[in-house]
Structure 1
Amino acid sequence: MSIKVKFHLSSSLTGTDAEELNMELKKEISLKEFLNLLGKKYPVFGKNLISSLDAKKNIKKTVLPLLILINSKSSNLKQTIKQGDDIEIFPLVAGG
Structure 2
Amino acid sequence: MVDINATSKPSVVDDVQVLTSIEDNSSSIFHKTAKKMYGTDLPASIMLLRAGSRVNKSGSLMFLLLGPQNYQICTNDTRRVGLSILSIKPSNKCRCLNIYYKYG
TM-score in terms of structure 1 length: 0.24
The structure that has the greater radius of gyration is 2
Greater helix fraction, Structure 1 or Structure 2: 1
Structure number with higher relative contact order (C-alpha < 8 Å, ≥ 6 residues apart): 1
